[in-house]
Amino acid sequence: MDCKQSDLIIAQLQDEVSTLQAQVTELQDTLRAISAGEIDAVLLPGADGTEIFTRQGTEQAYRAMVEAMNEGAAILIDGEIVYCNSYLAQMLDTPLEQVIGQSLFRFVPPEKRTSIAAMLADGLKGSSRNEVIFCDAHGTPLPLQMSLNMLDSQDQQGLCMVVTDLSERVLKQLQLAASVYQSSSEAMVVTDESNTILSVNPAFTTITGYSAEEAIGQTPNMLSSGRHDKSFFLAMWQAIEATGHWAGEIWNRKKNGDIFAEWLNINVIQDKASSSHRHVALFSEITDKKKSEEVIWKHANFDTLTQLPNRRLFSDRLEQGIKRASRAKDSMALLLIDLDGFKEVNDTYGHLVGDELLIEAAKRIKSCVRETDTVARLGGDEFTVILTEITDASHIERVARVLVEVLSRPYQLSKERANVSASIGISVCPGDAIDSVTLFKNADQAMYKSKDDGKNCFSHFSKSLEEKSIKRTHLIRDLHDAVARQEFELYFQPIIDLKTGHLFKAEALLRWHHPERGMVSPMEFIPVAEETGLIIEIGDWVFREALDFSRRWRERAGYPVKISVNVSPVQLMLKERSGLWAEHLQQAGITGDGVIVEITEGVLLKDRPTVSKALLDFRDAGIEVAIDDFGTGYSSLAYLSRFDIDYLKIDQSFTSKLAPASTDLVMSNAIIVMAHALGMKVIAEGIETEEQRDLLIAAGCDYGQGYLFSRPLPAEQFEALMAEALGAIPVGTHLMDDELVSVLS
């Protein structure tokens, strides 16, 4: 029987007592109503059915009621029993006629008569209920519960007394207590004033392994695990002495040496007959519960892969570190670490290898800091270090420098070898911030500065970074609304056939007319759009707009006017974007020969399935592909030969320095020869002088674009230029920049 079952049985017994007490009260109320003439009749169960007693038969009715009771009942006047029921006579083991007319004190032990007299006096003032000791005709003590109510009878004040025999109930309770003690799943220990064990139950033996014979005479110290110091037990006994109770978790040791956790309740039981007392301890083992709680806590606070604190525990440690720094008047630093190149490793070799890299990186980071510092993984390839108790600012840089060096060492992962680096941002409390949110934000800004500075380095937070971050936040906010507000516009820069000087096609270039800042440079907003993913929506708009212009110009010119559109790597690498360009072509009602997609060579080097699928979709739709800025990255003939590439664009960094016998001319010649050998055409960007143009023509370059021919133009001006180039209108019949006339030369 466990503790819950024993509580239930005790509650049932208490309900029975309450019911009996209610019945007594009801009878007493009925008696008063009969005496006062307030009721006309009483319904009582008779032997052959319900009997009705009228007012004239109230005495008979009352006698019937009290005779039916399982309690003793009597009417007392000045302590004399003027009436009692047969049940009371049975309880007193005295004939009924020898009880009536007797003083109540005849049935009260001499030593109890004073206290009983006081109870009778109190009963005349109001109802009362007390536990008392009477005795029967043989002097045997009778434990009773006595209820008294004042009664007016024939102008005399009397008492209505009802007594309940407690002897049987007490026996039941003792039997119940013994049953609970023996059957409970909770261990029970009873000790005396000196804390010597007097008794234990079977559950104690089951839990601890000690038998009753081994435990009795010992103290509970026999279970001591050594995990708690003196202050713990001092606080426990202070609580017991002050309140008579203590409850809490405690670790103890079993007979076999196993340490276990228990939930312990200690209560002091005072002996009313003397000044002595007992300690009753109840405990249950909660080791499994503690283990489960520990597992749950660990899962909630630690990263399952690296076993480092996760974001939740990191936040708590950061808050504690800030509070400690404030109290100690010293500094703490937050280092935010992002692994450069991890995504490429993860995508190339798979998640298992990526996980190995993260585990190894976590070990390397921990090896660079003290035990008192915190290393956490926030998610992905982002780690943090909390450096506490900093009295020398140079310590922060030393740690950051070592982290950069250690994390950039090659990683041997299973059968693969990988190389990554780390970009680290540093924010210091209280110098940079005094709250966790701002401290983290500042470290994040510093980390992005490290990214911008070329990665594999660390940067400190500064106010200029904060201003830049605020500006970037505003830029992102405005970019979200720019498409809806029609703030974007396409400009077009002509691409010229160098052999004929005729306009061959145009490159569509995105321009942003900000309502407050005016024209925003693409160099400023395009990288932000790519980082935030806004380039997806913006890029789709550019592609659709370019197709609309291509269709319109085809109708005017009578043949396809090719428009080059720059496609971001972000667009190509999204699986769901594959095939979308062909859908745009179909919706615009034109074929792929009116558009050319420009991508950077870095996209090919990533060699992802989504990129290959996108290039195949371009080919199937008849869309030509150009490699932009060729020669500025890690060029590879293998990649060029694998994909269907139609054009290579020589970057303007080569073109701008073209001169006879120059290295840039040699490089340009090599690119042109290589491209032609692979069946590709070559477009040179950034042509600004006639000498550059002539050198490129001599090298066999096919097409060129640059300020020599035209700056990027709004659509209306480009249409005018196109019309003039096609001979649709005479030269000079519309307003143009003088430089545009060169297109017709």
Following DSSP, what letter does each residue of 497-528 receive, concatenated? ETTT--EEEEEEEEEEEETTTEEEPHHHHHHH
Q: List all residues 6 or more positions away from 326 whose beta carbon is below 8 Å from its beta carbon.
A: 430, 434
Residue 49 shares a structural domain with residue 80: yes
* Any domain includes 64: yes
Determine, yes or no, domain membership for 509.
yes
716 plus 567 within the same structural domain: yes
Residue 594 near residue 561, CB atoms below 8 Å = yes
Q: Which structural domain range is residue 205 located in?
A: 186-291
- Name the pTM for this structure: 0.50
Q: Indicate if 568 and 680 belong to the same structural domain.
A: yes
Please answer whether residues 163 and 146 qualify as being in contact, where contact means their C-beta atoms are separated by less than 8 angstroms.
Answer: yes
Question: 62 and 31 in contact (C-beta within 8 Å)?
Answer: yes
Question: Tell me, what CATH number does 307's domain have?
Answer: 3.30.70.270
What does the pLDDT look like over 32-67, one tens digit per residue?
565 555 554 444 444 444 444 444 444 555 566 667
CA distances from 176 to 170, 182, 187 (A): 10, 10, 17
* Domain presence at residue 24: yes
- Is the same domain home to 244 and 374? no
Distance CA 601, CA 603 (A): 5
CA geometry: angle at 503 spanning 501 and 507, to 5°? 130
Q: What contacts 213, CB < 8 A, 6 or more positions away?
A: none
Run of H or E residues at 582: helix 580-588
- Tell whether 430 and 395 lie within a shared domain: yes
Say how many CA atoms lie within 13 Å of 130 toward its Cβ.
Answer: 17
> Does 673 lie in the same domain as 544?
yes
Residues 6+ apart with CB under 8 A from 635: 601
Positive or negative torsion for Cα 51, 56, 58, 60: negative
The predicted pLDDT at position 553 comes to: 84
- Number of domains composing the chain: 4
> Is residue 199, in this structure, part of any structural domain at all?
yes
Residue 292 to residue 179: CA distance in whole angstroms: 32
Q: Which of these, 609, 604, 610, lies nearest to 626 by C-alpha position?
A: 604
Q: What is the pLDDT of residue 368?
A: 94
Among the candidates 170, 203, 234, a domain finishes at 170
* 380 & 433 share domain: yes
Question: Torsion angle of alpha carbons 62, 65, 68, 74, nearest 10°?
Answer: -50
The verdict on residue 421 lying in a domain is: yes
Task: Return the pLDDT at 348.
Answer: 83
**Residue 470: inside a domain:** no
CA distance 17 to 274: 28
Residue by residue, DSSP assigns 587-617 as: HHT--GGGEEEEEEHHHHHH--HHHHHHHHH
Report which of 292, 281, 295, 417 is spatially closest to residue 348, judged by C-alpha positions.
Answer: 417
The CA distance from 270 to 264, in Å, is 20
pLDDT of residue 403: 96
* Tokens describing residue 319: 């808050």
d(CA 605, CA 612): 11
**Of 170, 201, 221, the domain-final residue:** 170
The conformation of residue 302, written as its DSSP 8-state character, comes to B
Return the closest-CA partner of residue 27 out of 44, 2, 5, 51: 44
Q: Alpha helices of 453-559 — where are they, by DSSP H?
A: 463-482, 522-532, 535-557
Question: What local confidence, expressed as pLDDT, does residue 462 receive?
Answer: 83
The reported pLDDT for the residue numbered 68 is 67
Residues 539 and 655 in one domain: yes
| Residue range 91-131, pLDDT digits in tens | 899 999 999 999 999 999 999 999 999 999 988 888 888 88
| Count of all residues that appear for the chain in the document | 745
| Whether residue 536 sits in one domain with residue 418 | no
Same domain, 617 and 519: yes
Residues in the chain with pLDDT < 50?
1-3, 6, 40-58, 273-274, 728-745
Residue 622 belongs to domain with CATH number: 3.20.20.450
Residue 204 maps to a domain: yes
Within a domain: 479? no
Q: Over the stretch 492-507, which tens digit does the pLDDT of each residue have? A: 999 999 998 888 889 9
Do 22 and 165 reside in the same domain of the chain? Answer: yes
pLDDT at 249: 92
Rounded Cα gap, residues 647 and 598, in angstroms: 9
Instruction: List the CATH number of the domain containing 246.
Output: 3.30.450.20
580 plus 705 within the same structural domain = yes
Beta bridge partner(s), residue 514: 518
Taking the alpha carbons at both ends of the chain, their separation in whole angstroms is 107
